[in-house]
Structure 1
Amino acid sequence: MLKLKMIFLLILTSKAYSQAEKETYLFSKDIKTNFENDKNLSRYQVAATNYSISSYYKQGLETWDKQSASDTLEKKTISTEDSLYFKSFKPVNAKKYIIDRSKNERIILINEAHNNSRHRVFTTSLLQDLYNNGYRFLGLEALWKNLDNRGFAVLESGFYTKESQFGNLIQEATKIGFTVFRYEGTSRVNDGGKTREIEQAENIVKLMKENPNSKFLIHCGYEHIIEGVPSITTWDKAMAGRIIEMTGINPFTIDQTYYSEKGIPTLNSPYIQLVNRDYPVIMVNKDNKIFTGAIDDSKKIDCTIIYPVTKYINNRPDWLSLSKERKTVKIEKTKIKEYPALVLAYRINEYEKKGIPADIIELLDASGKSNLILEKGEYRILIKNSDYKIVSDFIQTVK
């Protein structure tokens, strides 16, 4: 009898994981199991990205950090010289600084870490003010296919764009009136990325020349914003450097990655604690010079955002509220038939077209405190059980 029970459990488990493989948005336990069964060197990066896509922000950061060898996880420090240099700068509100400076710029490049949805939320927060200042084009490295006239991303639009906050960034941009475009290169030349950087720049510059009176915002990954010497030496120059080379225009380059919080707190930059603010800042000195890193930094970017450590409200990052423009939405217990439950909120008519959920939460049991965070509007709420079967499907209005 025991043997039959074991076989039955194995069959159920096999069915669950078979179904999970077909799903885009996963329960945390399934991401963890996939990670533990994965023997590839890239498993930390894969799991971190999967956590991010399914809205497990903290787990995504933690998993990314764990790919470092254990002997590199020591508390970060800075030299006395760098500390004194840093203290010669004063914090200013990052959003305000960027919006003010954008008035006199033609093209802005802002980066992200691909497993960090906070960076996408910050870019989203800039959109309306940038549009008011004349920006009309938003270029996305992560976009595989242009949106055409649809106005929102779908699962086939890209890999990272499947994440809710990336989907929200795209939806907000199109709603405001931006033309959202892809600019990724198509060449598969194996030259360490040099051709890719050139092609990306060429695609952006082509559109700039076709629209000479328009301003451009480019949201990309990591070091593509480097104007100076990238750490990936095979590039020769990063995309930003190529844009300068092709146009003579110096882009306004903004880094979000260097001084964001880590999943493992001891890895946080000491600069975060030195700033001690509860909002993102850019450091400016009395001569209007911007802090971008150590004194001898050769990467050359225009500014670096220093983020505070995230505060959580009912297990959700406080910055998801977009300065309280979004509302907290509690799911009635009567709507949840069984636990654990995966709750996905889709804008009306987007789920049927394989759109991206505006938010996702996981509820492990009836005592779980986790709320959806959504802008005003109507949503189709889907609740899935551990077998990824939809057990509840209803419309929710957010006022």
Structure 2
Amino acid sequence: MKKYLIFVLILQIGFVKLSAQELINPSLVGRDSLRNGNYLTPLNLLRQDEKKYLQSKWGWLYRQYIATMYSYVGQYDLALQYFDNFYDEDSSLSAVDTVAFEPVDAETYIMDALDTVQALFINESHHMQQHRILTLNLLKKLKEKGFSYFAAEAIFQADSLLQKRGYPIRGVSGEYLNEPILANMVREAIRLGFTIVAYDEAVSSASEREKKQAENMYNKIFKNDPKAKVIVHAGYAHIYEKEQKRKYMAQHFLEITGINPLTVNQTEMHEQYNRSKEKSYYRFFSDSYTFDKPMIFVSKKSNKVWVSPDMESYYDLEIFLPRTQYKDGRPQWLKYDRLKSVEISIPNKESLVYPILLQVFDASEDVLATPIDQILIENAQKRILVFTPGKNAKIRIIDSNGKRIIL
């Protein structure tokens, strides 16, 4: 069971140097460097003071934020490792009659369920890049199905030029849009012709925030377009249709719009760094079935979708994500249609100060655009697998001394 569901909203941006006397909020470390595309500086500053942070009042936030930073630089395994502390071990022996269920491709099931649906809500854990692939892969099919609005919690309302520009800008478009896969999701939505909707808002309480999110979606979409169809990519419990600690965004949305969203949960049935902290149901299903893409399990007898028994009234669909398989150090689920995988040779590797960051940009975009792909490389190696937009690719290396090489 999760100990915390934590959300960090960056309200201040500034360059901060750590002093020996006082540690500051880890999410404010090296912000100017991050905006300038150098993700290494804040990461290296945080890592050099890790022991101090973990023993300080900032320990819990340090774990969350460095996990998020590792997701930004393609270190999926390290992101899982640092976030493990927020989960309890699940020692229960939950079992399901495997003969009674069959795995169904999640994309196919969702698309088949949308004939009478106006709103599709899919959630994510903010440190898990894998939680963004399902929504990204659904976008083209959703557009063909008549969905015309794309709303995401991660988008800052202050970025009024995002739709026209066509891509996120670091430090402007949204904190989590510093991560390439989420940025590519927004790029793809704009390319396909979706109207982009930023609906999150900084308010005085968590309960008020839930209601404000739903109100903003109504005012920006359904007030003037009552028959609109929207895909919403949100975080954690915002998609819950039943009150738990508070009334959530999905509940307010139904009350305000009269529209019952199809709610899809990804934040329970997935791998953890430590298997003992995985949901026991996830261990059981993933050990009983082999699957390499998001799946839903359906009863052969009743056609009812399996949802964790303690969460059946909270959301409609439970997604099971595959265990990560790696090729050349990169997760296999990173692949999607718009990008090409390419092996890159690293030049002058002996002269670089490691760790280094290898970044892929679209040369047609502004220099402040979020990378298309990037990977933190800890030690010298000859080649690395990256994902590029093809002929417009610009590839850059930054080392730990700030040296930059354009390939």
What range is the shorter-chain TM-score in?
0.7 to 0.9
* Cα distance in 2 for residues equivalent to 1:77 and 1:272: 16
Q: TM-score, normalised by structure 2?
A: 0.82
Aligned to 1:227: 241
Q: 1:257 aligns with which of 251, 267, 277?
A: 267
1:113 matched to 2:125: yes
How far is 1:113 from its partner? 0.2
Instruction: Judge conservation of contact 1:259–1:272 (CA < 8 Å) in 2.
Output: no
SS of 1:249 mapped into structure 2: coil
The code of the aligned residue for 2:127 comes to N
* Cα distance in 1 for residues equivalent to 2:107 and 2:290: 17
* Cα distance in 1 for residues equivalent to 2:142 and 2:91: 35
* Cα distance in 2 for residues equivalent to 1:303 and 1:66: 27
Matches within 5 A, 1:277-288: 277-285=291-299, 286-288=301-303
CA distance 1:332–1:297, change in 2 (3 Å):
closer
Identity level (%): 29
How far is 1:349 from its partner? 3.5
How far is 1:218 from its partner? 0.4
1:125 matched to 2:127: no
* Cα distance in 1 for residues equivalent to 2:152 and 2:46: 27
Matches within 5 A, 1:1-399: 22-24=32-34, 25-26=39-40, 30-38=45-53, 39=56, 40=58, 41-68=60-87, 72-73=88-89, 76-80=91-95, 83-84=96-97, 88-144=100-156, 145-146=159-160, 147-155=162-170, 156-188=172-204, 190=205, 193-206=206-219, 207-230=221-244, 233=245, 235=246, 237-268=247-278, 269-270=282-283, 271-285=285-299, 286-294=301-309, 296-297=310-311, 299-322=313-336, 326-334=339-347, 336=349, 337-340=351-354, 341-352=356-367, 354-367=368-381, 370-390=384-404, 392-394=405-407
Deviation string for 1:175-226 (max 9, x for gaps)? 11111110013432x4xx1111111001112212212232100000000110
How far is 1:148 from its partner? 4.1
CA distance 1:263–1:370, change in 2 (3 Å):
farther
* Cα distance in 1 for residues equivalent to 2:31 and 2:259: 46
How far is 1:54 from its partner? 2.0
How far is 1:299 from its partner? 4.3
* Cα distance in 2 for residues equivalent to 1:298 and 1:363: 42
Instruction: Judge conservation of contact 2:362–2:389 (CA < 8 Å) in 1.
Output: no
Instruction: Judge conservation of contact 1:61–1:262 (CA < 8 Å) in 2.
Output: yes
Deviation string for 1:115-143 (max 9, x for gaps)? 00111122111100000001110101111
Deviation string for 1:264-302 (max 9, x for gaps)? 2332332332333222101112322111112x4354211
* Cα distance in 2 for residues equivalent to 1:319 and 1:77: 29
CA distance 1:261–1:319, change in 2 (3 Å):
same
How far is 1:248 from its partner? 2.0
The alignment covers a number of residue pairs equal to 359
Instruction: Judge conservation of contact 1:31–1:50 (CA < 8 Å) in 2.
Output: no
SS of 1:210 mapped into structure 2: coil
* Cα distance in 2 for residues equivalent to 1:356 and 1:174: 15
SS of 1:380 mapped into structure 2: strand
SS of 2:148 mapped into structure 1: strand
SS of 2:306 mapped into structure 1: coil
CA distance 1:67–1:312, change in 2 (3 Å):
same
* Cα distance in 1 for residues equivalent to 2:31 and 2:116: 48
* Cα distance in 1 for residues equivalent to 2:73 and 2:325: 20
CA distance 1:94–1:209, change in 2 (3 Å):
same
How far is 1:387 from its partner? 1.5
* Structure 2: segments with no counterpart, 5+ residues: 1-28
CA distance 1:242–1:275, change in 2 (3 Å):
farther
CA distance 1:154–1:325, change in 2 (3 Å):
closer
Rg larger for:
1
For structure 1, which segment, 53-62 or 310-319, has the greater mean C-alpha deviation from structure 2 after superposition?
53-62
Deviation string for 1:350-383 (max 9, x for gaps)? 342x110011123334435531123434122111
CA distance 1:140–1:298, change in 2 (3 Å):
same
How far is 1:329 from its partner? 1.6
